[in-house]
Structure 1
Amino acid sequence: MKKRAPTEQEILVDQLRQIADGLGRTFAPFCEVVVHDLRDADHSIVAIHNNLSGREIGDATTELGLARIADPAYPEIIANYANRFPDGRQAKSTSIGIKDSSGQFVAALCMNIDLTLFGALHSMLGQFGGTDDAAGIRETLEPTGAEAIRSRIDQFAARLSTTPRALKAEERRLLMRELRQSGCLEIRRAAEIVALHLGVSRATVYNDEK
């Protein structure tokens, strides 16, 4: 018996499953990725990766899904809107509706990010990166005069309406001439400072100085 060819809608949903699988693997474990088949609103969930909401395959669609089913003119992409998981955790969500050739919504891809995970990470990084300003100690591990070199480079680039890392070879040679004349290259580790600020190697700096 000849196998029935898949319909356009079935192909779209199947392709969306593959996309969801890839996104789920990429953004695990922070992002829940869900595929809704809007042809069956009562059992729309056909795939769910990195399950953060506790839903299951076969569960019903969301309010956004119902809105798309009712109105083909509903926005196809709603990005970064505030949401909340069933247990109260804050989330950031993006919902993408998929239409067939007739202009009707067939499916939706939804991504839900658990913001509490990032909130905790942000707090830890803030604590780790914090300093005790009350100690009253100001120290730098870079050579004296390093800021003066960077400032001159920034000023030179600004005159050319560009950035230090976008300077061309000829412009770098002019810059090195100015730094030499100003005495900046006499500062300890000057070549290293210039190289880091320009995003080039020290060998390039030495070559530009010739």
Structure 2
Amino acid sequence: MIQKTLEQRLLLEQLKQTAEGIAKTFAPFCEVVLHDLLDPSHAVLAIHNNLSGREVGDPATELGLARIQDADVEQVIANYPNSFPDGRQVKSTSIGIKDSEGRYIAALCMNIDLSVFQGFQGMLNQFVDIQMTAPAKETFDPMGADAIRDRINQFAARLATTPRALKAEDRRTLVKELKAAGLLELRRAMEIVAAHLGVSRASVYGYAK
């Protein structure tokens, strides 16, 4: 193990707090591991939400060793495929931490267990599955509703905001544009606009005057 400078020790101590905070936020699905790259034989300095079965004091991974050997290795490697020893699929992100001399001294790694989410995804896919062979065809959305919503979304995007965050003056301009385009003539148009903007129908009528 290399003798650590005061700066390096302080960085590692702060990273311990960062690792703990991230782990608490994303528990229990995300394992967070802090690696001390100045002590590769016992690199695992802290591990939270332990999903991989590793322990504090375990050696550095291949990526950790690569960073030790080459400071030019990419500092942030995000969302790469990985797996736990039992075969569960993992999405991993590794953030290399350098000291003031540009040397890698640590790595903060997050490993998300995808098996849980894949299970959720399977249930959701089954839940939202629509039988296209069903004999009846109906819709609860009035004709043209999508066109109104799309026009509102486009207007909000031009202002780098969302429909519900539009200011009153912007909403007034928007409603006038919808009126000029003939979209307010569609069935239940005022109700659709009001719902998408998060305002009352009376407000929309007022903007249209």
CA separation in 2, counterparts of 1:83 and 1:181?
50
Q: Where does structure 2 lack aligned partners over 5 or more consecutive residues?
A: none
Residue in 1 aligned with 2:49? 50
RMSD: 2.8
CA separation in 2, counterparts of 1:208 and 1:77?
48
CA separation in 2, counterparts of 1:86 and 1:128?
32
User: 3-state SS of the aligned residue for 2:133?
Assistant: helix
How many positions carry a matched residue from both structures? 199
**Do the aligned partners of residues 80 and 175 (structure 1) sit closer, same or farther apart at CA in structure 2, a change above 3 Å counting?**
same
> What is the CA distance between 1:108 and its match in structure 2?
0.5
Q: Deviations over 1:59-79 (max 9, x none)?
A: 111011111111112111111
> What is the CA distance between 1:89 and its match in structure 2?
1.1
Q: Which moved more, 1:80-89 or 1:147-156?
A: 147-156
**Do the aligned partners of residues 150 and 175 (structure 1) sit closer, same or farther apart at CA in structure 2, a change above 3 Å counting?**
farther
Matches within 5 A, 1:138-177: 138-142=137-141, 146-151=142-147, 154=150, 162=158, 165=163, 168-175=170-177, 177=179
Q: Which moved more, 1:133-142 or 1:88-97?
A: 133-142
Give yes or no for contact 1:156–1:175 (8 Å, CA) kept in 2: no
User: 3-state SS of the aligned residue for 1:133?
Assistant: coil
Larger CA Rg, structure 1 vs 2: 1
Residue in 1 aligned with 2:93? 94
Instruction: State the TM-score, normalizing by the size of structure 2.
Output: 0.82
**Code of the aligned partner of 1:13:** L
Instruction: State the TM-score, normalizing by the size of structure 1.
Output: 0.82
Matches within 5 A, 1:31-70: 31-70=30-69
> What is the CA distance between 1:154 and its match in structure 2?
4.3
Percent sequence identity over aligned pairs: 50
**Do the aligned partners of residues 183 and 94 (structure 1) sit closer, same or farther apart at CA in structure 2, a change above 3 Å counting?**
closer
**Code of the aligned partner of 1:91:** V
Q: Where does structure 1 lack aligned partners over 5 or more consecutive residues?
A: 1-5
CA separation in 2, counterparts of 1:68 and 1:196?
52
**Code of the aligned partner of 1:183:** E
**Code of the aligned partner of 1:148:** G
> What is the CA distance between 1:152 and its match in structure 2?
5.3
CA separation in 2, counterparts of 1:86 and 1:181?
58
